[in-house]
């Protein structure tokens, strides 16, 4: 793929301003997406923590109830103790003359470890949420302190470049138009052979004396002679007919326009 660079400085200014605008748009979208993903991740952790706290509360209540029931049934001391402020402890028994007490203590110890694992998991989630909040604050501060003002500066620069480019472009077009008027030349917007629009990519051709021919493009006319590309109007019609990107009504419209072009309407060249 060939990239056509602007052939004039004012066109380059407009081109550069559009590049900056696209960069600002992509950068802003990237930062917004990153911030949204960060918020969604933090909210997901918060939801998981709230759900796990409910499960932890249920496990705690089940542990207390089961330990109370088993201890009472077997007439042994309850290894689980708790206070009104939700503090719960497990009194591990390693040795005892009562083997039944050791067996029940081991059984309750399994439930206690399960509860502790869940409790530790929630503590880890809470730390992850704190870290996510801290990361968000740092990222937001970094964006506000650096990237935000950088984007503002680039926006101002791109606006100035766009304004200067369009202003210079307009002045140049006016200069060309006035030159054409002074020399009694017709300002053609399209080639009078192929009907393609003049642009920085499709330039005006030259006459045999190296003067600019403002009627035909370089593809159709060179050094005072028509090229071999379109010898007759039928060659141009055939190209349009075989162009699959054009619809039937578009082909008819172009054929109607082409037959009225200077080259095919009258033979002055």
Question: pLDDT tens across 152-168, in order?
Answer: 777 787 788 778 777 77
Q: Are strands 221-222 and 225-226 parallel, antiparallel or unpaired?
A: antiparallel
Range with the poorest average pLDDT among 1-10, 46-55, 57-66, 174-183: 1-10
Residues 6 or more apart whose Cβ sits within 8 Å of residue 10: 164, 165, 168, 169, 172
Radius of gyration, CA atoms only, the chain: 41
Provide the number of structural domains found in the chain: 2
| Contact yes or no for 60/115 (Cβ under 8 A) | yes
Range of the domain at 119: 9-173
The helix/strand count (H/E) of the chain reads as 6, 6
For 72, half-sphere exposure in the C-beta direction (CA atoms, 13 angstrom radius) is 6
**Residues 157, 227 within the same domain:** no
Predicted model pTM = 0.41
Q: How far apart are CA 257 and CA 194, in angstroms?
A: 10
**Residues 258, 207 within the same domain:** yes
Q: How confident is the model at residue 1 (pLDDT cuts 50, 70, 90)?
A: very low
**Residues 17, 117 within the same domain:** yes
Where among 138, 173, 208 does a domain terminate?
Answer: 173
Where among 173, 204, 226 does a domain terminate?
Answer: 173
**Residues 39, 125 within the same domain:** yes
Range with the poorest average pLDDT among 4-8, 19-23, 250-254: 4-8
**Residues 120, 213 within the same domain:** no
Question: pLDDT tens across 23-36, in order?
Answer: 777 776 666 677 77
**Residues 158, 198 within the same domain:** no
Q: How far apart are CA 157 and CA 152, in angstroms?
A: 9
Q: How far apart are CA 268 and CA 150, in angstroms?
A: 58
Question: pLDDT tens across 209-226, in order?
Answer: 888 888 899 989 998 899
**Residues 239, 115 within the same domain:** no
Q: How far apart are CA 161 and CA 130, in angstroms?
A: 44
Q: Is residue 3 part of a domain?
A: no
Q: Is residue 4 part of a domain?
A: no
Per-residue b or e along 120-135, where b marks 16 or more CB atoms closer than 10 Å to that residue's CB: eebeebeebbeebeee
* Collapsed DSSP state (helix, strand, coil) of residue 28: helix
Q: Is residue 119 part of a domain?
A: yes
């Amino acid at each position: 793929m060939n990239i056509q660079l602007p052939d004039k400085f004012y066109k380059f200014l407009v081109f550069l301003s559009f590049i900056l605008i696209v960069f600002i748009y992509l950068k802003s979208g990237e930062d917004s997406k990153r911030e949204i993903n960060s918020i969604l991740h933090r909210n997901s952790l918060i939801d998981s923590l709230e759900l796990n706290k409910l499960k932890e509360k249920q496990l705690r209540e089940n542990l207390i109830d089961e330990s109370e029931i088993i201890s009472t049934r077997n007439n042994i001391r309850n290894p689980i103790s708790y206070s009104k402020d939700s503090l719960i402890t497990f009194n591990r028994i390693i040795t005892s003359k009562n083997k039944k007490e050791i067996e029940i203590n081991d059984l309750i110890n399994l439930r206690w470890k399960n509860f502790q694992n869940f409790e530790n998991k929630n503590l880890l989630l809470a730390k992850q949420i704190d870290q996510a909040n801290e990361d968000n604050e740092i990222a937001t501060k970094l964006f506000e302190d650096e990237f935000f003002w950088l984007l503002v500066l680039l926006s101002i620069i791109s606006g100035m470049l766009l304004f200067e480019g369009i202003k210079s472009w307009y002045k140049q077009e006016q200069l060309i138009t006035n030159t054409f008027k002074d020399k009694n030349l017709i300002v053609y917007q399209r080639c009078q052979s192929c009907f393609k629009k003049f642009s920085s990519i499709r330039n005006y051709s030259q006459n045999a004396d190296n003067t600019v021919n403002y009627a035909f493009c370089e593809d159709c006319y060179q050094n005072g002679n028509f090229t071999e590309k379109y010898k007759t109007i039928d060659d141009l019609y055939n190209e349009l007919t075989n162009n699959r990107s054009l619809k039937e009504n578009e082909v008819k419209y172009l054929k109607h326009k082409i037959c009225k072009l200077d080259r095919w309407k009258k033979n002055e060249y």
